[in-house]
């Protein structure tokens, strides 16, 4: 997974995810599911199928789906904003949470940094 550093103010506190914005610099607009975890999971190889153990799956806090219809096309980039949910999250330890993603279809992202995920949260 990818670390979301300082997702909570202090160890033992939580945060509530209220929305997600995806900036797709490669203009793919692929369906995507974001999975959130309370500790660093081993999710699988980047650009490969997910392969997660039972122990790592137990770290799951929830997921958010981004549909192809959630994207607006801004020319050479697509942006999606999904809101209208409430996902409370508390790290197992420390102040970081983790996110991993899957996509459907066969999008071709040239760099890992070509998909920007912005989490909109309210911290405890």
Could you read off the pLDDT of 97-117 as tens digits, one per residue? 999 999 988 888 888 789 999
Mean pLDDT of the chain: 94
- Kind plus residue range of the DSSP H or E element containing 54: helix 54-57
Sheet holding 60-66, edge to edge: 2-4, 97-103, 32-37, 60-66
pLDDT in tens, 64-88: 999 999 999 999 999 999 999 999 9
Distance, in Å, from the CA atom of 63 to the CA atom of 11, rounded to the nearest integer, reads 22
> Does residue 23 register a pLDDT over 90?
yes
Note the pTM of the prediction, 2 decimals: 0.93
> Does residue 47 register a pLDDT over 80?
no
**CB of 89 closer than 8 Å to CB of 38:** yes
Cβ neighbour number for residue 86 with a 10 Å cutoff: 10
């Amino acid at each position: 997974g990818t670390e979301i550093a300082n997702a909570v103010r202090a160890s033992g506190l939580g945060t509530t995810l209220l929305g997600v914005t995806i900036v797709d610099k490669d203009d793919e607009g692929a369906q995507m599911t974001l999975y959130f975890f309370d500790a660093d999971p081993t999710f699988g190889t980047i650009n490969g199928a997910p392969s997660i153990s039972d122990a790592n799956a137990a770290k799951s806090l929830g997921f958010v789906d981004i549909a192809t219809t959630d994207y607006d096309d801004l020319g050479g980039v697509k942006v999606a904003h999904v809101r209208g949910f409430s996902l409370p999250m508390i790290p197992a330890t420390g102040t970081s949470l983790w996110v991993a993603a899957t996509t459907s279809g066969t999008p071709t992202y040239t760099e890992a940094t070509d998909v920007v995920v912005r989490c909109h949260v309210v911290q405890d």
